[in-house]
Amino acid sequence: MTFDVWLSDPVNWVYLAIGAAVLLCGVRVVTSQNVVHAALFLVGALAGSAALMLLLSAEFVAWTVVLVYIGAVIVLFLFGIMITRAPVVRDVGLDNKKARPVAAVVALATFAVLTYTSLLAFGNTEVARVGDPTPTETLAEGLLGRFVLPFEVVGFILLAALIGGITLARRDLSPAEEEERGAV
Amino acid sequence: MDLTDFLLVLLRVVATFVLLLLVTVLNVWAERKIVADMQNRIGPDRAGPWGILQTVADGLKLFFKEQVNPRKAEMGMFVLAPFLAVIPAFLLFMMVPWGRPIEFADGSTFPLQGADLNIGLLFVLAMSSMAVYAVVLAGWSSGSKYPLLGGVRATAQAISYEAALGLAMVAVVVWMAASGEDGVMTLSLSEIVARQQGTYLGFLPRWNIFPQFGAFLVFFIAAVAETNRAPFDLVEAEQELVGGFHTEYSGMRFAMFFLAEYVNIFSMAALGATLFLGGWNGQIDTLFGWSTPGWLAAILPTVYFLFKTYVIVFMFFWIRATLPRLRYDQLMNLGWKRLIPGAIGWLALTAVVAAFWRFDAPWA
């Protein structure tokens, strides 16, 4: 398939537009000088990736991204920002200009690795068709059948991270200190 | 898709939208009237018969009022937040089937719902989780401390109760898979309604509330908390926060938050009616063997649906007039220590019973 044939399909224009929007949002996440704006640009990037999933006929994955990432993870980010500091003004230190070249190299390297492995794995095979949604059942069978071990390992790592986070952030109070704070 | 298909889709989306706007205007009036009755007051009685036009009058007034822009506000977000409140509220209701699909002579059907996604329930959950952005951004962008506190409370509350809400819905999905003919799971709301047709033991309607009353209890409490209604209205506690996240809002922008809240109440009640009370299914005509004329048979499902929804809406108003607001730590304790473990326990029980029903008990 040549590029002009690819471009003649209107679906691919939509793909390009969404991809450009995601890229723009992603750049603004790291360059924005307002921490709340950065979080909101991350919402934009995630919403764009959900839209790309919809284009790939992966309805379930798309709405799961909206539910889990936009609806819960970023909301938690915002919560964290607001209970610590929520300056409406800009914070110049947020955009670390000295680290930009390194960040660019890392980002490009990650992109190259992902592109290379994807091409290696799928090549020219047709993964999905527009308007022909992947049944959720197929997804469930893949996740709980063939890939059940990686799935469980990821779950275990997340549990470990959770417990580790609590241990690091929380120091057990001595009885005297607890008295001081008052019983809840 | 040709033009006729497009127009039909447009028609049903517009019909759903208009239905939602009408009931919302009615609900605001109904709440004031019902709460007034419960508190031995008269309530609105000036505009129109029984004061039924009071909401229209209030809406028009808010529409023409000045919109104050606070000096310290982040204007972009400040203007955007009310829209973020209204849009998910309307989108959520688009998934709910509010009547029996109309069948045409040529066999094609016209479903009475905004859209029939086969992952409808997931979409509903996604939209209800988006609603919190409006409150958080409104609170943050106002540049004032009381709205910010309201926003922080909203985030913690929404995250805590969303989990319970989702788990209650999952229990229903598992149950529906067990009671379906081929044991296939479904997240489509029209399919969930279809599977609640018929009766248990010949007289009890096959509604999910009977086998799934635990899930209904969790769902209802979590729905009240998700819509930020009393007794979980810490987000807009006028006595503590001057007003909460919308303190700095005025005029049309304030009206939009208000609209979103009432749309959310109706959407959540409609979702409850769909998941637990059989949606538009009803038995009055068939149970007594009446011969219903065709036009009545066509509108009865919508009447059943609205009636069931209003039973739940009435419960929303009722507990608002009855219960005092929870303290913040009580709210968190109820959410994390009672509702979520309760919902997980109920889900586990449902899964075991459903598996036994489907594949027979291991000792059988």
Question: What pLDDT, on a 0 to 100 scale, did the predictor assign at position B101?
Answer: 77
Identify the pLDDT of residue B347.
Answer: 92
B305/B300 Cα distance (integer angstroms): 9
A55: distance to nearest CA of chain B, Å? 15
Question: How far is C-alpha B126 from the geometric centre of its chain's CA atoms?
Answer: 13
* pLDDT score of B1: 59
Q: List chain A residues with CB under 8 Å of B158.
A: 75
pLDDT of residue B180: 66
Q: DSSP label at A142?
A: I
Q: Taking Cα atoms as reference points, which of B219, B120, B124 lies closest to residue B167?
A: B219
At A106, the pLDDT band (50, 70, 90 cuts) reads very high
Q: How far apart are CA B288 and CA B272, in angstroms?
A: 27
Residues of B in contact with A82 (CB under 8 A): 136, 139-140, 148, 151-152, 155
Query: 3-class SS at B7?
Result: helix
> Which residue in chain B is spatially nearest to A35 when comparing CA positions?
B140
Per-residue confidence (pLDDT) for residue A90, from 0 to 100: 61
Q: Which residue of A has its CA nearest to B328?
A: A184
* pLDDT at res. A145: 86
Count the Cβ atoms, other than its own, within 10 Å of residue A152: 11
Q: Which domains does chain A have, with CATH numbers?
A: 1-90 (1.20.120.1200), 135-184 (no CATH)
By Cβ distance, the residue of A36, A64, A78 closest to B122 is: A64
Give CA angle at A121 (A53, A129), nearest 5°: 35
By percentage, how much of chain A surpasses pLDDT 90? Answer: 25
Amino acid B348: pLDDT: 92
* pLDDT reported for residue B17: 85
**B69 contacts B244 by C-beta, under 8 angstroms:** no
Q: Which residues of A touch B140 (CB under 8 A)?
A: 36, 78, 82, 86, 88
Tell whether omega for the bond before B44 is within 30 degrees of 0, i.e. cis.
Answer: no
Q: How many CB atoms lie within 10 A of CB B39?
A: 9
**pLDDT for residue A54:** 84
Average pLDDT value over all residues in chain A: 82
| Residue B148 in contact with partner chain A when CB distance is under 8 A | yes
Checking if the pLDDT of A152 tops 60, the result is yes
Nearest by CB to B119, from A36, A59, A79: name it.
A59
How far, in whole angstroms, is CA B337 from its chain's centroid? 24
Segment B303-314 mean pLDDT: 89
How many Å lie between the alpha carbon of A149 and the closest alpha carbon of chain B? 22
Lowest average pLDDT, out of B11-15, B17-21, B76-80, B116-120, goes to B116-120
B244 token code pair: 């909460």
Are the beta carbons of A67 and B122 separated by less than 8 Å? yes
Burial of A55 (0-12, 13-18, 19+ CB in 10 A): middle
Query: What is the per-residue pLDDT across A1-28, written as a single tens digit (0 to 9) for each?
Result: 677 777 777 878 888 899 999 999 988 8
Helix (H) or strand (E) holding B263: helix B251-276
Beta bridge partners, B108, equal none
What are the residue ranges spanned by the domains of chain B?
66-356
What would the mean pLDDT of A137-162 be, rounded to a whole number?
A: 89
Contact criterion met (CB below 8 Å) for B343 and B164: yes
Nearest CB to B74; choose among A75, A88, A137 = A88
Angle of helix B251-276 versus helix B120-141 axis, rounded to 10: 150
Distances (CA, A) of A37 to A31, A75, A100, A120: 10, 13, 19, 37
Distance of CA B254 to the CA centre of its chain: 21
Instruction: Using alpha carbons, select from B351, B342, B339 the residue that is nearest to residue B175.
Output: B351
- Residue A55 predicted with pLDDT over 90: no
Question: Which residues numbered 264-323 in B keep a CB inside 8 Å of some CB on A?
Answer: none
Residue-wise pLDDT tens digits, B167-198: 998 898 888 887 766 667 778 888 888 888 77
* pLDDT, tens only, B112-139: 777 777 788 888 888 888 888 888 888 8
Interface check for B334 against chain A (CB to CB < 8 A): the answer is no
How far is Cα B58 from Cα B64, in angstroms, rounded to an integer? Answer: 10
pLDDT tens-digit map of B151-169: 888 788 888 888 888 899 8
Chains A and B form CB pairs within 8 A to the count of 74
Q: d(Cα A24, Cα B73) in Å, to the nearest integer?
A: 26
Q: How far is Cα B35 from Cα B163, in angstroms, rounded to an integer?
A: 30
Instruction: With a cut of 70, say whether residue B285 has pLDDT above it.
Output: no
